[in-house]
Structure formats: structure tokens, C-alpha cells
Amino acid sequence: LFDCLAAQTPDPLLSLIGEFARDGRADKLDLSVGVYRDDEGRTPVMQAVKQAEQRLVDGQASKSYLGPDGDRGFAEAITDLVLGAQAGSRARAMQTVGGTGALGLAAGLLAAAGGPRTIWLATPTWSNHVPVFAAAGLAIRTYAHVDPATGGFALDAFLAAAEQAQPGDAFLLQACGHNPTGVDPDPEAWETIGRTLARKRLIPLLDDAYQGFGEGLEEDAQGLRTVLAEVPEALVAVSCNKSFGLYRDRGGALVCCGHDAAALEVAMANARTIARSSYSMPPDHGAAVVRTILEDRALTQLWRDELARMRHRLRATRRALGARLAANDPRLGAIAGQHGMFCLLPIDAAQVARLRSQFAIFIAPDGRVNLAALPLHRVDAFAEALGDVTAR
């Protein structure tokens, strides 16, 4: 059996976790996988999470199964956080294994609905998007996310793709803090996106992984809510792993939005069937932590304050790096005004490799930089190293 299996190359992003851990250089800097790090390179557990965990340890009376939807209180609380006033009878949610698990269930629903069905991705995009949708057997088509002339969101490319798409095709839209470019649509573009999807009877799949890392929790949800207000049906994949710092605990939810309660129930039943044959029921801890925080006013405030501090630090780093890089290349000054954890540098694979071998700076293979891990006091050194590897 094993002889018949094809060799696999390790995931190029995740393999950097091990490579960085094995690197012995004292001044090494990990700007690759999307985790928040403090000035010492640590990813501390948030205080709100610690306190919620303590309450769970003290109060949890059983570890018996909760059922295929996981933690119902979590699913409702996270739906309120993401959808705001649009939560309620229009939305049904279930807990998933992280944001990737939610995307996987969404992909499974699209495939189960029959086809031929295509999902449209704006590229560049997160390196795991194509594998998730390909694994579900969906056809994948792409269009440009960034307008090369302006460096901003390429609305025209979206509109051209929407014109070519067939009714029932899905469009993956990153809700905020676009991974890897940091380039988000502005409010007017979101309106146009929502109206176009509705007119062409296309299905939005909103990937919401970085809420709170852009302008603020409410602000970062506005684009998603604008689209949801326009369309009759949508899927939302939520990750709690960045905004609650839960990473390895894999907190996430799939939210199905529609106006027909019976059809929504069928959608949820299909999602449960897909989950059952895969992981059966989601692991509890991360979702229980999020629910415990969101159910308690004081813990919610503590979490919001911690998230705001992370966001302000990230934005200060953005501004500093954008200003520093603009001195050499004015186009890179745009980094200062972009959103979320990431920016994408115009550097090739050999230059990425030299950043690592010569300067012990690890970034993603496509030139993506995780700004949430770059301390302010290392911005200059990073810019100098970058200047060195791109000069030749």
C-alpha cells in the first residue's frame, strides 16, 4: 500500500515552523506563519484566555459529547460578533475545527449542492485556499486581487470575473486583512461587490480570519456585513485563532446565512453529515474559552483591550516599515495604509532564501511578511537586510 502512494512535498509555509525552531542563530526573526509575537518573539496566551481557562478548569463538570454542532453558546456568540445586527433568524452556525475546518465544510457544501460548480479566488491568496477547494472537487478559477497600476484592490478584475461566472458559482472573499497582500476593498467597493454577487446570483464565501487586526472589531466586519445585506444566501468561515490567540486550539465556526429557514436547516444538516464522516464532532476547548469570554462582560472587555493593544502595535509597525521602505521604493510606502497582519514584498524565491541564510530572517516563500511578529526596534534592521538582498 504505502509503496503506491505519491511522494509529497511538505507544506512550504508550515515547514518553516520546524526550520525556524532548529535554527541556532540568536538573532533569528520569524516573520513567516501568521502568529502575533511580542518584542521577545513570544506568542503569549492572552490574559482573558487564561482567566477563561481557569474558570473552565474549576467549573467544567463533564467532558461528555456536545453533539455535531459543538458548543452552541459559542456558535451563537461568534455569530453575533461577526454578523452584528444581521445575526438572528437569518443565520445558523456550528463550531468547526478552526477556520480551515469551516472552509472545508463550506467547500463540501458547495460540492454537495452539485454542479458543475466553480469557486473563484482572487489571487494571490492564502496558500491553503486552493488545496482546500481542490480537495472538495470544486473547479477553481482565479482573477487578480491587486490592481498593478494603483496597488489597490482590483475591483475591475472582480467585476470581469463576476460577468464570466455562472449562477451558483461561489466567490471566496477575505473579510478583512487580506492574506497575503494586506489590500482590502474600500466601503464603496464592498457595496459594488455585494450588489454584483446578488445580481449575478453568485454565492459569497466570506473568510473571516483576522477580525480585530485591521481598524477595529466592528470596522473590520463592515465589508462582510455589507455583502451579507445584499445577497439572499452566503457562507461565512470564521477563525478565532488569531483574534483570541488560540492557534493550536483551533477555534472556528461555519455560519450559513439565508432567508428560508427550512433551506438553512438542510444546509446545516449537510454540514453535519460532512463533519461526521471526517472528524465527527469538534474539539471543545478553544470554543469553550471563546464562549466563556464572550458571555462575561468583564472578560469581554479585557479581551477587547488586549486585542486593541495588539492592533495598535501592529499598526505602528506597519507605519514604520512603510515609511522606511518608501525611501528606497515609493510604491512600498503603501504598506503603511494597508490592513491586517501581512504585507507582500516584490521579492523572488532566491531573495527570500538569502534573507534566511544570510540574515536569519524567515518570511513566507511567496514574499509575505507577518508584520505582527516584527518588533518596532527591528524594523530598520529588517529594511536593511531587505535592501541588501534586493540590491543584487
Would you give the binding string for ligand LMR spanning residues 197-236, x where CB under 6 A is met?
----------------------------------------
Please select the residue that binds ligand LMR; options are 118, 179, 192, 211, rule is CB under 6 A.
179
Tell me how far apart the alpha carbons of residues 143 and 88 are, in angstroms, rounded to a whole number.
Answer: 34
Please select the residue that binds ligand LMR; options are 31, 34, 108, 182, rule is CB under 6 A.
34
Least distance CB 34 / ligand LMR (angstroms)? 3
Picking from 376, 74, 78, the residue whose alpha carbon sits closest to that of residue 217 is 78
56 binds ligand LMR (CB under 6 A): no
CB-nearer residue toward ligand LMR: 86 or 128: 128
CB-nearer residue toward ligand LMR: 177 or 204: 177
13 binds ligand LMR (CB under 6 A): yes
C-alpha cell at 167: 449562477
CB-nearer residue toward ligand LMR: 220 or 233: 220
104 binds ligand LMR (CB under 6 A): no
Q: Is 242 a catalytic residue?
A: yes
Burial of 296 (0-12, 13-18, 19+ CB in 10 A): middle
Site for ligand LMR in 105-164 (CB under 6 A): 126, 128
Least distance CB 99 / ligand LMR (angstroms)? 8
Choose the catalytic residue: 30, 71, 120, 126: 126
Please select the residue that binds ligand LMR; options are 15, 23, 28, 33, rule is CB under 6 A.
33
Residues of the shown chain interacting with ligand LMR in the complex, contacts defined by CB under 6 A: 13, 33-34, 126, 128, 179
Active site residues: 126, 207, 242
